[in-house]
Amino acid sequence: MPGYSTSFSGIEIVNDNRDKFKSELEKAIHTALDEIGAKAESYAKSVVPVDTGRLRDSITHKVNDADSSVEVGSDVHYASYVELGTSRMRAQPYLRPSIERHSSEYKSILEQRLSNS
């Protein structure tokens, strides 16, 4: 509760900024995840095999604030076949490499956003 004063165990709390801190932290996490998702989306689009461009154009990202995660992918029905391959087609991964090859960059983005909050 902002603006109250209380003391316990010899410590006096003049202002309680927990709610503000929590809000700023949640914003920083959301911003970092959105930036990470956009980078991963861009990397995936740069390496995905292109025939018509439909798969490349369908790659997006979405931040899930409930569990502090970001999803990068496509809703095109054959996206997983391209990524993982089939018995008749070799795998042509584009999502996994976009995540794994840049994990240190994503970690840096998160650290930077959290240190600025």
1 has a pLDDT exceeding 90: no
- 10, pLDDT greater than 80: no
- Answer yes or no: is 37 within a domain: yes
pTM of the model: 0.81
Whether residue 65 lies inside any domain: the answer is: yes
Q: Which domain holds residue 61?
A: 13-116
In whole angstroms, what is the distance from residue 31 CA to residue 29 CA?
5
Rounded Cα distance, 98 and 46, in Å? 9
Span 17-59, pLDDT tens digits: 888 889 999 999 999 999 999 999 999 999 999 999 999 999 9
Domain membership of residue 8 (yes or no) is no
Asked whether residue 53 is assigned to any structural domain, the reply reads yes
Query: Would you say residue 7 has pLDDT above 60?
Result: no
In sequence order, what E strands does the chain have?
A: 6-8, 11-13, 60-64, 69-73
The DSSP bridge partners found for residue 70 are 63
Q: Is residue 90 part of a domain?
A: yes
Question: Whole-angstrom Cα distance, residue 100 to residue 78?
Answer: 22
Tell me how far apart the alpha carbons of residues 25 and 117 are, in angstroms, rounded to a whole number. Answer: 6
pLDDT per residue as tens digits for the range 72-97: 999 999 999 999 999 999 999 999 99
Q: Helices 103-116 and 18-47 sit at what angle, rounded to 10 degrees?
A: 150
pLDDT at 12: 72
In a domain, 67, yes or no: yes
- Residue 5 domain flag: no
- Dist. CA 42–CA 72, nearest whole Å: 10
Please check whether residue 2 lies inside any domain of the structure: no
SS3 108: helix
Number of structural domains in the chain: 1
Closest to 61 in 3D by CA, of 49, 50, 73: 73
